[in-house]
Chain A
Amino acid sequence: MNALNSLLDGFGTALTPLNLLWAALGVLLGTAIGVLPGIGPAMAVALLLPVTYGLDPVAAFIMFAGIYYGAMFGGSTTSILLNTPGESAAVVAAMEGNPMARSGRGAQALAAAAIGHFAGGMVGTVLLVALAPTVADLAVDIGAPDYFAIMVLAFIAVTSVLGSSRIRGLASLLIGLTIGLVGLDQMTGQQRLTFGSLQLADGVDVVIVAVGLFAIGEALWVAAHLRRRPAEPIPVGRPWLGRGDVRRTWKSWLRGPFIGFPFGAIPAGGAEIPTFLSYVTEKRLSKHKDEWGKGAIEGVAGPESAASASAAGTLVSMLTLGLPTTAVAAVMLAAFQQYGIQPGPLLFEREPELVWGLIASLFVGMVLLLALNLPLAPVWAKLLRIPRPYLYAGIMFFAAVGAYAVGGEVVDLVTLLIIGLVGFGMRRYGLPILPAVIGVILGPNAEQQLRRALQISDGSVTGLVNTPFAVTVYAVIVLLLAWPLVRRVGRRGPART
């Protein structure tokens, strides 16, 4: 039981008083920022990045673990009490959670969500512990062509599984890839898209891209369409659950992770699909079908648990393959790169203290989350009343802090604003943000793997498909691409008869 021993070592790291403090701070900050309306988990993590700059990597990632789960939980609080979710994974939580809150059962909805997060996160992280070392072991042998195939899969998955328009997804991806090209070529030192500027030769920092697209872009977009009268949050007391509620929800809490985790682990785009699947499953299995749409508690418990488990699943591919499948994971990968650490199969060998400390603090963070958030929920609910000018001014303020902290350069602030304006335009015309961020983060890496693979094969394209692993991945890609066609044909068939 090698993984178990490593995990115990990880707890040794995570449970030192100082690291425990970072975890608690991360959970509190993550929840507080995540609760704020308009701030989803990805923006929360991006805005909180600079907080960790001065810390050593282990402490920083322990804090991150807390921020990640805290921000996700905060997001569902917002959608239950406000019914206008900004984040796609929280849409499902609003469908049953908000009617519950309106009929005076907000406390129960929040409790079902909090415990759902806890259960899903726990089961998901246990699965992560069981799976990640195995995946890492398997992945140690994979070479450049395999990596390139995985990255192509990630590109195709984020552009065609998510969002409504593939063309717009691809446009977003290409914008990201272009930003990723700026700077010195990693293999030859050739200047690309630098236009002779020294500052551009360093490339555009991933953190600045993430903060610009997620934070500045969002703040400007909201500023253009600010609701004159913000939605009124529903007041709520301390979350609690009666015995009858627990009897109805415990199975949903336990079912959620098994829907959420697999979807998180594959590069198919995060919590959107599994939360919806969980919702549908719970609805089918419910004995109280008449309550659905009017506030069925299972409809909060199951999807929230699935969302939390899918967050844990995301970490499997992020830590073992260096492959981010959600916006939050993409920002976390950027944070790893900031420390000069490349997540991938070797991470578990090279940085065992970091990885297992991070995984152990996921457990710690979950316990803290439950312990802090149940009593603090009324306080979090008050945050929903923050005057909107302050909220979005604050986002711009902290985005500036984050970008300036990267290198202490004014040019970074100007770049941030330009990327923010790009993010604004993308929101206006329905270009999804995630493909651009994935393109910036994975683009340079994918190019390197491609060129390495072709160097080995001496320029022959067969060098990209000479392993069974790569061939399998390309088969999956073809399936993904063909899927809408198949579905269209399938739909047309019955319509004619």
Chain B
Amino acid sequence: MTTRTEPSSARTAERRSWLREHSELGVCVLLLVLGVLVLTDALTMDVDIAQRGPVGPKTVPVVVGTGLLVIAALLAVDVLRGGRGQAEGGEDVDLSEPADWRTVLLLAGIFLGTSVLIEPLGFPAAGALLFWGAAFALGSRRLDRDPLIAAALSLVTYVVFDKLLGVPLPGGPLMGVL
């Protein structure tokens, strides 16, 4: 954090760092929203004749929704008292550096793009784009090698799944030509 001289900006910086410290409260908000959503859905359900037995389709959603609200509150209390969720470690995870949001957003975007393209382009082409794009987002810049690996992987996967294992994948116009 950079130090600033003006008191007002110091206060915003302070508030921002407090929010960053307590970003886990965002999880509480999401749980709260989810709970409200589940409860609204359950309570606006009109069950009249459909119900067989004393416990209808409403009961469990009401319990789950209430549970979500309670847990959201408990988690908020825990966070405000200094409790922190332990971020998950792993073989390739380096927690000492701040999160690289650009890569995450890029990956999510590429994945979304693939799901749009899979039907018009077919799996081999869309899959290759997904692999290449994801590898690029993750920092691989071998323009001579990456597209080839992506194309080979995608084509082999298509043939193995569609032809050998009997799991249908769309071939798209490319496979129509070949």
In the assembly, what is the distance between CA of A206 and CA of B33, in Å? Answer: 23
Interface presence of A211 (CB below 8 A) = no
Interface presence of A17 (CB below 8 A) = no
Chain A interface (Cβ < 8 Å from any Cβ of B): 37-38, 50-51, 53-55, 78, 82, 84-86, 164-165, 167-168, 170-171, 174-175, 177-178, 181, 185, 187-190, 192-193, 195, 216, 218-228, 230-231, 387-394, 396-398, 400-401, 404-405, 408, 410, 413-414, 417, 420-421, 424-425, 427-431, 447, 450-451, 454-455, 458-459
Docked complex: B105-158 residues within 8 A CB-CB of A = 107-108, 111-112, 114-116, 118-119, 123, 127, 130-140, 149-150, 153-154, 157
In the assembly, what is the distance between CA of A84 and CA of B100, in Å? Answer: 21
In the assembly, what is the distance between CA of A223 and CA of B67, in Å? Answer: 32
In the assembly, what is the distance between CA of A393 and CA of B71, in Å? Answer: 35
Closest residue of chain B to A172 (Cβ to Cβ) is: B71
Please determine whether B91 and A414 come into contact, CB atoms closer than 8 angstroms.
no
Contact of A225 among B30, B94, B123, B149 (CB under 8 A): B94
Q: Which applies to chain B's interface (DSSP): helix, strand, loop or mixed?
A: helix
Residues of A within 8 A of B99 (CB): 224-225, 428
Chain B interface (Cβ < 8 Å from any Cβ of A): 24, 27, 30-31, 34, 37-38, 41-42, 45, 47, 50-57, 59-61, 64, 67-68, 71-72, 74-75, 78, 83-95, 97, 99-101, 103-104, 107-108, 111-112, 114-116, 118-119, 123, 127, 130-140, 149-150, 153-154, 157, 161, 165-170
Please determine whether A188 and B52 come into contact, CB atoms closer than 8 angstroms.
yes
Tell me whether A192 and B71 are in contact in the complex, defined as CB-CB below 8 angstroms, given that A220-B107, A405-B161 are known contacts: no
Please determine whether A397 and B93 come into contact, CB atoms closer than 8 angstroms.
no
Q: How far is the CB of A392 from chain B (nearest CB, A)?
A: 6
In the assembly, what is the distance between CA of A459 and CA of B30, in Å? Answer: 34
In the assembly, what is the distance between CA of A450 and CA of B100, in Å? Answer: 45
Please determine whether B157 and A187 come into contact, CB atoms closer than 8 angstroms.
no
Tell me whether A187 and B90 are in contact in the complex, defined as CB-CB below 8 angstroms, given that A193-B41, A413-B114, A431-B85 are known contacts: no
Q: How far is the CB of B43 from chain A (nearest CB, A)?
A: 12
Residue from B68, B84, B116, B133 whose CB has the most chain A CB atoms within 10 Å: B68
Please determine whether B50 and A428 come into contact, CB atoms closer than 8 angstroms.
no
Closest residue of chain A to B37 (Cβ to Cβ) is: A193
Residues of A within 8 A of B88 (CB): 221, 427-428, 430
Q: How far is the CB of B141 from chain A (nearest CB, A)?
A: 9
Please determine whether B93 and A227 come into contact, CB atoms closer than 8 angstroms.
yes
Residues of A within 8 A of B64 (CB): 174, 177-178, 181
10 A-B pairs whose Cβ atoms sit less than 8 Å apart in the complex? A38-B92, A51-B167, A86-B90, A174-B71, A188-B56, A195-B41, A222-B93, A225-B99, A228-B94, A397-B153
